[in-house]
Chain A
Amino acid sequence: MEPDVGLNDSFARDLLARAAEAPPKTPRVFYHRDGDCIEFLVSDEGFYGERIDKFVTVYHGRESGAIVGGLIKGVRRFLKEMADTCPGFEIELEGGRIRVEYIVTAGMWRQHHNVALRKYKKLREAAEQADMEVEIPALA
Protein backbone atom coordinates (compact mmCIF):
# COMPACT_ATOMS: atom_id res chain seq x y z
CA MET A 1 0.00 0.00 0.00
CA GLU A 2 1.46 3.33 -0.99
CA PRO A 3 2.30 5.89 1.69
CA ASP A 4 -0.44 8.47 1.85
CA VAL A 5 -0.74 12.04 3.05
CA GLY A 6 -3.73 14.27 3.30
CA LEU A 7 -5.11 17.64 4.17
CA ASN A 8 -6.21 16.80 7.70
CA ASP A 9 -3.00 16.59 9.72
CA SER A 10 -1.49 19.45 11.71
CA PHE A 11 0.95 20.43 8.96
CA ALA A 12 -1.81 20.77 6.38
CA ARG A 13 -4.20 22.50 8.76
CA ASP A 14 -1.53 25.02 9.78
CA LEU A 15 -0.55 25.74 6.19
CA LEU A 16 -4.13 26.09 4.96
CA ALA A 17 -4.97 28.36 7.87
CA ARG A 18 -2.17 30.70 6.77
CA ALA A 19 -3.30 30.71 3.14
CA ALA A 20 -5.26 33.77 2.19
CA GLU A 21 -8.82 33.41 0.92
CA ALA A 22 -8.37 36.50 -1.22
CA PRO A 23 -6.49 36.23 -4.51
CA PRO A 24 -2.75 36.61 -3.92
CA LYS A 25 -1.08 39.93 -4.52
CA THR A 26 0.80 40.17 -7.78
CA PRO A 27 3.56 40.54 -8.61
CA ARG A 28 5.44 38.81 -5.82
CA VAL A 29 8.98 37.60 -5.38
CA PHE A 30 10.78 35.38 -2.89
CA TYR A 31 14.43 34.59 -2.31
CA HIS A 32 14.88 31.00 -1.11
CA ARG A 33 17.88 31.08 1.19
CA ASP A 34 18.30 27.28 1.28
CA GLY A 35 18.02 26.78 -2.44
CA ASP A 36 19.81 30.06 -3.25
CA CYS A 37 17.19 30.86 -5.85
CA ILE A 38 14.72 33.61 -6.67
CA GLU A 39 11.13 32.75 -7.53
CA PHE A 40 8.83 35.39 -8.91
CA LEU A 41 5.20 35.34 -10.04
CA VAL A 42 3.32 37.99 -11.97
CA SER A 43 -0.07 36.27 -12.00
CA ASP A 44 -2.26 34.25 -9.64
CA GLU A 45 -2.80 31.41 -12.10
CA GLY A 46 -1.17 28.02 -11.83
CA PHE A 47 1.77 27.20 -14.05
CA TYR A 48 4.17 24.56 -15.27
CA GLY A 49 7.89 25.01 -15.59
CA GLU A 50 10.15 24.94 -18.61
CA ARG A 51 13.82 24.61 -17.81
CA ILE A 52 15.77 26.92 -20.10
CA ASP A 53 19.20 26.17 -18.71
CA LYS A 54 20.76 25.48 -15.34
CA PHE A 55 20.22 29.10 -14.34
CA VAL A 56 16.61 29.81 -15.33
CA THR A 57 13.26 28.01 -15.43
CA VAL A 58 10.35 29.85 -17.04
CA TYR A 59 6.80 29.43 -15.71
CA HIS A 60 3.96 29.21 -18.25
CA GLY A 61 0.44 30.02 -17.08
CA ARG A 62 -1.99 27.10 -17.40
CA GLU A 63 -4.83 29.32 -18.58
CA SER A 64 -3.15 32.17 -20.43
CA GLY A 65 -0.11 30.34 -21.78
CA ALA A 66 1.82 33.52 -21.01
CA ILE A 67 5.01 33.68 -19.02
CA VAL A 68 3.76 34.18 -15.48
CA GLY A 69 7.00 33.89 -13.56
CA GLY A 70 10.28 32.17 -13.25
CA LEU A 71 12.93 30.59 -11.08
CA ILE A 72 16.51 31.85 -11.07
CA LYS A 73 18.98 29.40 -9.52
CA GLY A 74 22.47 29.64 -8.07
CA VAL A 75 21.99 33.33 -7.34
CA ARG A 76 24.87 34.04 -4.95
CA ARG A 77 27.33 32.11 -7.08
CA PHE A 78 26.12 33.88 -10.20
CA LEU A 79 26.38 37.33 -8.62
CA LYS A 80 29.91 36.54 -7.46
CA GLU A 81 30.85 35.51 -10.98
CA MET A 82 29.35 38.74 -12.28
CA ALA A 83 31.25 40.79 -9.72
CA ASP A 84 34.50 39.06 -10.71
CA THR A 85 34.04 39.52 -14.44
CA CYS A 86 32.03 42.77 -14.55
CA PRO A 87 32.96 44.81 -11.46
CA GLY A 88 30.54 47.58 -12.37
CA PHE A 89 27.63 45.19 -11.90
CA GLU A 90 27.96 45.67 -8.15
CA ILE A 91 26.36 49.10 -8.47
CA GLU A 92 23.11 47.28 -9.19
CA LEU A 93 23.30 45.53 -5.81
CA GLU A 94 22.48 48.43 -3.57
CA GLY A 95 22.05 47.27 0.02
CA GLY A 96 21.84 43.66 -1.11
CA ARG A 97 18.79 44.37 -3.26
CA ILE A 98 18.61 43.85 -6.99
CA ARG A 99 15.94 44.34 -9.60
CA VAL A 100 14.77 41.02 -10.99
CA GLU A 101 15.09 42.07 -14.62
CA TYR A 102 18.77 42.96 -14.11
CA ILE A 103 19.66 39.47 -13.00
CA VAL A 104 17.62 37.97 -15.84
CA THR A 105 19.41 40.25 -18.27
CA ALA A 106 22.82 39.31 -16.91
CA GLY A 107 21.97 35.64 -17.30
CA MET A 108 20.67 36.23 -20.81
CA TRP A 109 23.91 37.81 -21.91
CA ARG A 110 25.77 34.57 -21.14
CA GLN A 111 23.34 32.50 -23.19
CA HIS A 112 24.23 31.78 -26.82
CA HIS A 113 21.36 29.60 -28.05
CA ASN A 114 18.78 31.53 -30.04
CA VAL A 115 15.72 29.67 -28.75
CA ALA A 116 16.80 30.12 -25.15
CA LEU A 117 17.63 33.77 -25.78
CA ARG A 118 14.11 34.47 -26.97
CA LYS A 119 12.68 32.88 -23.83
CA TYR A 120 15.05 34.87 -21.66
CA LYS A 121 13.91 38.02 -23.41
CA LYS A 122 10.24 37.25 -22.72
CA LEU A 123 11.04 36.50 -19.12
CA ARG A 124 12.86 39.81 -18.82
CA GLU A 125 9.86 41.62 -20.28
CA ALA A 126 7.61 40.00 -17.68
CA ALA A 127 10.02 40.99 -14.92
CA GLU A 128 10.27 44.57 -16.22
CA GLN A 129 6.52 44.98 -16.34
CA ALA A 130 6.21 43.59 -12.82
CA ASP A 131 8.75 46.15 -11.55
CA MET A 132 10.18 43.95 -8.77
CA GLU A 133 13.29 43.94 -6.71
CA VAL A 134 14.44 41.30 -4.26
CA GLU A 135 16.76 41.29 -1.26
CA ILE A 136 19.55 38.73 -1.21
CA PRO A 137 20.36 38.59 2.52
CA ALA A 138 23.91 37.32 2.10
CA LEU A 139 24.74 40.41 0.07
CA ALA A 140 23.15 43.00 2.32
Chain B
Amino acid sequence: MSETHPGAVYSKTKERRGYATLQAVDPHDGGQWDVLLSHDQMDWIAANGKGAARELADTVRWSLLNIRHLYRGVRDDDRDVDDDGWLCYVATPEHAYNWKSGEKVRSWPHQVFLVYVTDERVVYHWRWDDCSEDDPHLPVDYLKRFRDKVF
Protein backbone atom coordinates (compact mmCIF):
# COMPACT_ATOMS: atom_id res chain seq x y z
CA MET B 1 0.00 0.00 0.00
CA SER B 2 1.40 3.38 -0.94
CA GLU B 3 1.84 6.17 1.58
CA THR B 4 -0.98 8.16 0.04
CA HIS B 5 -3.69 5.58 0.73
CA PRO B 6 -5.99 5.76 3.76
CA GLY B 7 -4.68 3.70 6.62
CA ALA B 8 -1.12 3.59 5.27
CA VAL B 9 1.77 3.61 7.70
CA TYR B 10 3.83 6.67 6.90
CA SER B 11 5.97 9.43 8.35
CA LYS B 12 5.15 13.12 8.13
CA THR B 13 8.73 13.85 7.20
CA LYS B 14 10.46 12.69 4.05
CA GLU B 15 13.90 13.26 2.58
CA ARG B 16 15.78 11.75 -0.34
CA ARG B 17 19.16 12.42 -1.84
CA GLY B 18 18.88 14.48 -5.01
CA TYR B 19 15.53 15.92 -3.96
CA ALA B 20 14.31 19.06 -2.23
CA THR B 21 11.66 18.76 0.45
CA LEU B 22 8.48 20.84 0.24
CA GLN B 23 5.52 21.07 2.59
CA ALA B 24 2.03 20.06 1.49
CA VAL B 25 -1.37 19.21 2.91
CA ASP B 26 -1.36 15.67 4.31
CA PRO B 27 -4.19 13.67 2.70
CA HIS B 28 -4.55 11.57 5.86
CA ASP B 29 -5.45 14.27 8.34
CA GLY B 30 -5.39 17.67 6.63
CA GLY B 31 -2.24 18.65 8.49
CA GLN B 32 1.12 19.00 6.78
CA TRP B 33 3.57 16.45 5.47
CA ASP B 34 6.66 16.53 3.32
CA VAL B 35 6.71 15.92 -0.41
CA LEU B 36 9.76 15.78 -2.67
CA LEU B 37 10.90 17.57 -5.80
CA SER B 38 13.86 16.29 -7.79
CA HIS B 39 16.84 18.51 -8.45
CA ASP B 40 16.59 17.40 -12.10
CA GLN B 41 13.15 18.92 -12.29
CA MET B 42 14.33 22.09 -10.57
CA ASP B 43 16.98 22.37 -13.29
CA TRP B 44 14.33 21.88 -15.98
CA ILE B 45 12.17 24.60 -14.46
CA ALA B 46 15.11 26.95 -14.05
CA ALA B 47 15.92 26.42 -17.74
CA ASN B 48 12.40 27.62 -18.53
CA GLY B 49 13.22 31.07 -17.18
CA LYS B 50 12.47 33.38 -14.28
CA GLY B 51 8.70 33.22 -14.67
CA ALA B 52 8.64 29.44 -14.50
CA ALA B 53 11.05 29.48 -11.55
CA ARG B 54 8.89 31.97 -9.65
CA GLU B 55 5.82 29.88 -10.42
CA LEU B 56 7.48 26.89 -8.78
CA ALA B 57 8.92 28.84 -5.85
CA ASP B 58 5.68 30.65 -5.09
CA THR B 59 2.56 29.34 -6.83
CA VAL B 60 3.35 25.63 -6.60
CA ARG B 61 4.44 25.72 -2.98
CA TRP B 62 1.51 27.95 -2.01
CA SER B 63 -0.94 25.63 -3.77
CA LEU B 64 0.38 22.56 -1.97
CA LEU B 65 -0.59 24.22 1.32
CA ASN B 66 -3.72 26.14 0.33
CA ILE B 67 -5.92 23.67 -1.46
CA ARG B 68 -9.49 24.06 -2.57
CA HIS B 69 -9.69 20.32 -3.11
CA LEU B 70 -7.47 17.27 -3.03
CA TYR B 71 -8.03 14.20 -5.18
CA ARG B 72 -6.47 10.77 -5.14
CA GLY B 73 -6.15 8.54 -8.22
CA VAL B 74 -6.36 9.08 -11.92
CA ARG B 75 -9.44 7.56 -13.44
CA ASP B 76 -9.03 5.56 -16.63
CA ASP B 77 -11.81 3.34 -17.87
CA ASP B 78 -9.84 1.99 -20.80
CA ARG B 79 -6.68 0.68 -19.21
CA ASP B 80 -5.40 -0.84 -16.03
CA VAL B 81 -4.01 1.86 -13.78
CA ASP B 82 -1.07 1.74 -11.44
CA ASP B 83 -1.27 5.37 -10.38
CA ASP B 84 -4.43 5.19 -8.30
CA GLY B 85 -2.52 6.49 -5.28
CA TRP B 86 -1.30 9.61 -7.02
CA LEU B 87 -2.58 12.95 -5.73
CA CYS B 88 -3.84 16.11 -7.39
CA TYR B 89 -3.82 19.30 -5.30
CA VAL B 90 -6.34 21.84 -6.63
CA ALA B 91 -5.89 25.51 -5.75
CA THR B 92 -6.96 28.96 -6.91
CA PRO B 93 -4.03 31.30 -6.21
CA GLU B 94 -4.74 35.01 -6.43
CA HIS B 95 -1.75 35.66 -8.63
CA ALA B 96 0.32 33.98 -11.31
CA TYR B 97 3.57 34.69 -13.15
CA ASN B 98 4.20 35.79 -16.69
CA TRP B 99 6.69 33.26 -18.00
CA LYS B 100 8.37 35.69 -20.39
CA SER B 101 8.79 38.69 -18.12
CA GLY B 102 8.78 36.91 -14.79
CA GLU B 103 6.33 39.51 -13.47
CA LYS B 104 3.65 38.69 -10.94
CA VAL B 105 0.21 39.11 -12.53
CA ARG B 106 -3.38 38.53 -11.51
CA SER B 107 -4.33 34.90 -11.74
CA TRP B 108 -5.93 33.70 -14.95
CA PRO B 109 -9.72 33.96 -14.96
CA HIS B 110 -11.73 30.75 -15.03
CA GLN B 111 -8.68 28.62 -14.36
CA VAL B 112 -7.42 26.55 -11.43
CA PHE B 113 -3.91 25.50 -10.55
CA LEU B 114 -3.18 21.77 -10.33
CA VAL B 115 -0.16 20.14 -8.68
CA TYR B 116 0.37 16.40 -9.16
CA VAL B 117 2.19 14.17 -6.69
CA THR B 118 3.10 10.50 -7.11
CA ASP B 119 2.32 7.78 -4.58
CA GLU B 120 5.97 8.08 -3.50
CA ARG B 121 5.22 11.72 -2.59
CA VAL B 122 7.19 13.24 -5.45
CA VAL B 123 5.84 16.40 -7.09
CA TYR B 124 6.16 15.80 -10.82
CA HIS B 125 3.83 18.19 -12.64
CA TRP B 126 1.75 21.35 -12.25
CA ARG B 127 -0.17 23.61 -14.52
CA TRP B 128 -3.05 26.01 -14.93
CA ASP B 129 -6.14 24.32 -16.31
CA ASP B 130 -9.67 25.47 -17.16
CA CYS B 131 -12.15 25.34 -14.32
CA SER B 132 -15.41 23.44 -14.34
CA GLU B 133 -18.51 25.26 -15.53
CA ASP B 134 -20.37 24.28 -12.37
CA ASP B 135 -17.62 25.12 -9.86
CA PRO B 136 -14.83 27.68 -10.43
CA HIS B 137 -12.67 25.93 -7.83
CA LEU B 138 -12.58 22.59 -9.63
CA PRO B 139 -10.92 21.61 -12.90
CA VAL B 140 -12.97 20.92 -16.00
CA ASP B 141 -14.21 17.32 -16.23
CA TYR B 142 -13.25 16.67 -12.62
CA LEU B 143 -15.83 13.90 -12.33
CA LYS B 144 -14.08 11.92 -15.08
CA ARG B 145 -10.49 12.59 -14.05
CA PHE B 146 -10.08 11.41 -10.49
CA ARG B 147 -10.90 8.33 -8.49
CA ASP B 148 -11.47 9.66 -4.94
CA LYS B 149 -12.07 13.07 -3.46
CA VAL B 150 -9.95 13.37 -0.30
CA PHE B 151 -10.93 16.91 0.72
Asked if A44 and B128 make an inter-chain contact with CB atoms under 8 angstroms apart, the answer reads no
Q: Among the listed B22, B79, B116, B118, which residue makes an inter-chain contact with A54, where contact means beta carbons less than 8 Å apart?
A: B79
Query: Across the interface, do B50 and A19 meet the contact criterion of CB distance under 8 Å?
Result: yes
Interface residues of B (CB under 8 A from A): 20, 22-23, 32, 38, 40-54, 56-58, 61-62, 65-66, 74, 76, 78-79, 82-83, 96-100, 108, 111, 114, 116, 118, 120, 122, 124-125, 127-130, 140-141, 145
Inter-chain contact A34/B100, CB cutoff 8 Å: no
Count chain A residues whose beta carbon lies closer than 8 angstroms to a beta carbon of B.
41
Task: Report how far A95 CA is from B120 CA in the complex, Å.
Answer: 28
Cβ of B58 and Cβ of A7 under 8 Å apart? yes
Q: Note all chain B residues with C-beta closer than 8 A to A49.
A: 114, 127-129
Given contacts A33-B40, A37-B125, A51 and B53 within 8 Å (CB-CB): no
Contact A20 B49 (CB under 8 A): yes
The answer to whether A48 and B49 have CB atoms under 8 Å apart is no
Selected from A18, A23, A71, the residue in CB contact (under 8 A) with B100 is A23
Residue of A nearest to B125 (CB): A35
3 nearest CB pairs, A to B: A35-B124, A46-B99, A18-B46
Across-interface contacts of B74 in A (CB, < 8 A): 54
Give per-residue flags for A27-40: 1 if the beta carbon is below 8 A from chain B beta carbons, else 0: 01010111101010
Q: What is the distance, in angstroms, from A89's C-beta to the closest C-beta of chain B? A: 17
- Specify which chain B residues have a CB less than 8 angstroms from the CB of A59 in the assembled complex: 127
- For B50, list chain A residues within 8 Å (CB): 16, 19-21
Give chain B nearest CB distance to A42 CB in angstroms: 12
A–B pairs, 15, beta carbons within 8 Å: A3-B62, A15-B46, A15-B56, A16-B50, A19-B50, A25-B47, A28-B47, A33-B40, A34-B120, A37-B124, A44-B99, A49-B128, A51-B129, A51-B141, A74-B83
Q: In the complex, what distance in Å separates the CA atom of A32 from the CA atom of B22? A: 18
A contact residues vs B (CB 8 Å cutoff): 2-7, 11-12, 15-16, 18-21, 23-25, 28, 30, 32-35, 37, 39, 41, 44-51, 54, 57, 59, 62, 71, 74, 77
Q: Given the interface contacts A11-B20, A48-B111, does A3 sit within 8 Å of B65 by beta carbon?
A: yes
Are B129 and A50 in touch, CB under 8 angstroms? Answer: yes
A residues near B78, Cβ cutoff 8 Å: 54
Contacts of B140 in A (CB 8 A): 51
Give the nearest-CB partner of B82 in chain A.
Answer: A77
The residues of B that contact A41 with a CB separation of less than 8 Å are 48
Task: For the complex formed, measure the closest distance between the CB of B73 and the CB atoms of chain A, giving whole angstroms.
Answer: 12
Shortest CB-to-CB span from B20 to chain A, Å, is: 6
Residue of B nearest to A48 (CB): B128
